């Protein structure tokens, strides 16, 4: 059993390590096509925590009962975020992803009321302005996936006063993207488009895939890389700006 688990972790590290090195969108979509059947097993082997952490963060900030909220899961993959949402009582879930094969896996879970194929950054989200109470994008903000230029599209489909939750890795191979992402997020806040509620650094994000990922931004004492969860509230036109952001994790986590 231990030998099988070790082999599974080694294979998962190899596949995810390859993925982290792909910066071309077409190549990345081709990779996901082959990876879709093994995706859940691999991220479980790597102890990937982003879906649970993002949903925990969102749940504590979203007003009203969970079953009443309409949620969009962007880059939904196989539906790991939906599984976390459903476990907390969220029932109105829509998902979009750029990979038909990943959407097939998500559809099999039965958690989504609507699933759509959409390559964010190349086309708009298939929803009207101000549709969703909350929008999440977990695990797709990196080179070769969703470009920073697509972030305003998340805001467009969020209701005024609604929430947007985003995650990204902060390990060495993703630092350049994270810097560009931070600039985009800050620019939208300065423009009054949204207000940052949480910026939550997390040490134990997922296991590193190679020694190259162990360095600044990596919790190298236990082999985990780091990441960050952001939470924003879309501004109403009449809202007053100037509330200071929080860098503290949500309570009780």
State the DSSP code for 217: T
What's the first-to-final CA gap in the chain, in angstroms?
32
Domain assignment of residue 25, yes or no: no
Tokens read off for 61: 């900030």
Domain assignment of residue 250, yes or no: no
Domain assignment of residue 208, yes or no: yes
Q: Measuring CA to CA, how many Å separate 9 from each of 22, 103, 182, 203? A: 20, 24, 32, 20
Per-residue pLDDT, 217: 47
Domain assignment of residue 29, yes or no: no
Per-residue pLDDT, 210: 77
Bridge-based pairing of strands 224-234 and 194-207 is antiparallel
Domain assignment of residue 243, yes or no: no
Domain assignment of residue 17, yes or no: no
Compute the distance between CA of residue 17 and CA of residue 67 in angstroms, rounded to an integer.
37
Tokens read off for 167: 């995650």
Tokens read off for 147: 């470009």
Bridge-based pairing of strands 114-117 and 92-97 is parallel
Domain assignment of residue 134, yes or no: yes
253 residues of the chain, pLDDT tens digit each: 444 455 588 999 989 888 878 888 889 899 999 999 999 999 999 999 999 999 999 999 998 899 999 999 999 999 999 999 999 999 999 999 999 999 999 999 999 999 999 999 999 999 999 999 999 999 999 888 899 999 999 999 999 999 999 999 998 888 999 999 999 999 999 999 999 999 999 999 999 887 767 655 444 447 899 999 999 999 986 443 344 444 555 555 5
Per-residue pLDDT, 248: 56
**CA nearest 158: which of 69, 76, 60?**
69
The CATH number covering residue 75 comes to 3.40.50.150
DSSP string for residues in 156-197: HTEEEEEEEEEEEE-SGGGHHHHHHHHHHHHHHHHTTSEEEE
Domain that holds residue 203: 48-214+222-236
E strands, the chain, are 70-74, 92-97, 114-117, 132-137, 158-169, 194-207, 218-219, 224-234
Total domain count for the chain? 1
Instruction: Decide if 32 contacts 101 (C-beta within 8 A).
Output: yes
Domain assignment of residue 187, yes or no: yes
Helix (H, G, I), strand (E, B) or coil at 84: helix
| Cβ-based neighbours of 97, under 8 Å, separated by 6 or more | 75, 76, 77, 103, 106, 115, 117, 118
């Amino acid at each position: 059993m231990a030998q099988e688990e070790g082999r599974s972790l080694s294979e998962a590290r190899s596949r995810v390590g390859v993925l982290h090195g792909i910066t071309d969108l077409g190549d990345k979509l081709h990779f996901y096509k082959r990876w879709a059947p093994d995706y859940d097993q691999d991220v479980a082997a790597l102890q990937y925590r982003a879906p649970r952490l993002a949903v925990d963060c969102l749940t504590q900030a979203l007003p009203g009962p969970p079953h009443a909220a309409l949620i969009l899961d962007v880059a939904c993959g196989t539906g790991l975020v939906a599984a976390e949402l459903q476990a907390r009582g969220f029932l109105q879930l829509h998902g979009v992803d750029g990979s038909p094969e990943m959407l097939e896996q998500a559809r099999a879970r039965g958690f989504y009321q609507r699933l759509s194929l959409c390559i964010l950054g190349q086309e708009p989200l298939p929803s009207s302005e101000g549709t969703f109470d909350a929008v999440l994008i977990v695990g797709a903000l990196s080179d070769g996936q969703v470009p920073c230029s697509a972030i305003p599209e998340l805001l467009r489909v969020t209701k005024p006063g609604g929430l947007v939750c985003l995650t990204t890795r902060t390990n060495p191979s993703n630092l350049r993207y994270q810097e560009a992402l931070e600039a985009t997020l800050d620019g939208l806040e300065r423009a009054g488009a949204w207000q940052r509620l949480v910026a939550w650094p997390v040490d134990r994000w997922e296991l590193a895939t190679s020694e190259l990922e162990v360095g600044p931004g990596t919790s190298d004492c236990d082999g985990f890389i780091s990441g960050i969860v952001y939470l924003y509230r879309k501004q109403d036109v009449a809202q007053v700006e100037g509330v200071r952001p929080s860098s503290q994790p949500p309570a009780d986590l």
